[in-house]
Amino acid sequence: MTPAHRRLAVRAFSVLLFFTVLAGQFWRNLLGWWGFGVIAGLLTIGAVVLLVREKPEWSWRRSPKGVAAFLIVAALSIAWSHYPAASALGVGLTVATTIAAVFVGLCLSWAEFLRALGNALRWILGLSLLFELGVALVVRGPLLPNFVSYEGEKIPMAFYWSRGLLFDGGPIEGIVASRNLLGFIALLALIVFGIQLAAKTVQRRWGITWLVIAAVSFVLTRSATVTLAAVVVLAALGFALWARHRGPRRRGVVYLTAGAALVASIAALTLGWNLLLSIFGKSDDLTGRFDIWAAVSGLASERPLAGWGWIGYWAPWVDPFDSLAERKGVLYLQAHNAWLDVWFQLGIIGLVVFAAIVIPALWRSWFLAVDTAYDGRGAALPPRASALLPLLVLAALIAQSLAESRILVEGGWVLLVAVAFLTKRRQLSGEAMP
């Protein structure tokens, strides 16, 4: 195989990998858990094989230490876990997902990362709209996943693959079977497609078309949590562009304004909470989140230092997850807050090592986004639009982590770890942005 064909294989594999980690529920609903397991296993093997064949430049110095620390703590937690067998399974799944993320972080250039992620997002959004159109035209009602059977007269709406509400203006769930997840994917798409347009790495007409598709998908999901995440992303973009304009020696006012805006936002949320809920049509308990947070916090406080044991996605057949977060006949399998989930599973130790992934990656992403880049001869380069990508992706992930735990599993974990590796690599090598 020629080097060109090898790179083509790496890029194609990366698109499939991003598609699967972001839209894993599509495979599970289509092929069942066993079918998804086969696909996930093949992708993990493929990532290992490509890592060995590509032999990317790697050293301990080039690696984000927080990722290794988190995996070590998660693995050690099997020893004190309340559910050791489930913890062993959870650690194995997290390691497999991390392998996929490391492949992305070490084997893809910035240009390839941007292109592969963009192509995967286009597939997900395009198939989601076609899927919703098919359900609305053919099924004309809610559609259940394949390979499932539910007993009882009334099936909770959360169990359906799609509720078939496209012609009613949504909310739509798409192929990922969740309006919150589809909304977040649409938000990622808005970030990626916007950067590709600004960086002129796609044809303008093509880029605008997909930007509109992403915006339409975002609106049709009618997701309140993702809407708030979008506000955080816009704020991060605004402050980054302002910091670029001010230059490295005149950014004090930027940081002071950002701090004041954060304090003001917290105050506004506190004082205008009921108004905000009414605007988004949410119940006073944020669709059951308050009850879930209270239940999880109660258990976490019983084992505050090291937690109950790592599991990642909650296993519904294991105590206490078999009854911990049940609402209206639906058993939820996350704490709906990643930081609370980490505290519950790995205690304060886990929170420290998780923060050791997020905070340094955010730090590197910020300065990558705002600082002037230089070429090999030391000449200053104009600010690159693509340099904003890791900052905006992390802003979206962190904002989502306050209401969802998806940053700990599948696509969220892959993006977090991949950005941590890519920014670390960029910091040490000065690799050019596309």
Identify the pLDDT of residue 246. Answer: 82
Is 385's pLDDT higher than 90?
Answer: no
Is 190's pLDDT higher than 90?
Answer: yes
pLDDT bucket at 170, cuts 50 / 70 / 90: confident
Is 349's pLDDT higher than 80?
Answer: yes
Number of independent structural domains in the chain = 1
71-85, 268-282, 392-406: least confident range: 268-282
Q: Which residues, listed in sequence order, are joined to residue 421 by a DSSP beta bridge?
A: none
Q: Is residue 201 in some structural domain?
A: no
pLDDT, tens digit, 9 for 90 and up, residues 404-423: 999 999 999 999 999 999 99
Is 394's pLDDT higher than 70?
Answer: yes
Is 278's pLDDT higher than 80?
Answer: no
1-15, 48-62, 283-297, 372-386: least confident range: 372-386
Q: Is residue 389 in some structural domain?
A: yes
Averaged pLDDT for residues 378-397: 82
Averaged pLDDT for residues 334-358: 96
Q: Is residue 198 in some structural domain?
A: no
Identify the pLDDT of residue 330. Answer: 80
300 contacts 81 by C-beta, under 8 angstroms:
no
Averaged pLDDT for residues 35-58: 91
pTM: 0.93
Residue 171 preceded by cis peptide, ω within 30: yes
Q: Is residue 306 in some structural domain?
A: yes
Stated length of the chain: 434
Separation between Cα atoms, residue 102 and residue 85, nearest integer Å: 26
Q: Alpha carbon of 251 to those of 59, 235, 265, 371: distances in Å?
A: 34, 16, 21, 11
Identify the pLDDT of residue 57. Answer: 77
Q: Is residue 180 in some structural domain?
A: no
Domain of 323, in residue numbers: 65-107+226-434
Q: Is residue 163 in some structural domain?
A: no
Residue 360 preceded by cis peptide, ω within 30: no
Residue 90 in tokens: 């959870």
Q: Is residue 366 in some structural domain?
A: yes
Identify the pLDDT of residue 103. Answer: 95
Question: Distance between alpha carbon 425 and the CA centroid of its chain, in Å?
Answer: 21
Is 31's pLDDT higher than 60?
Answer: yes
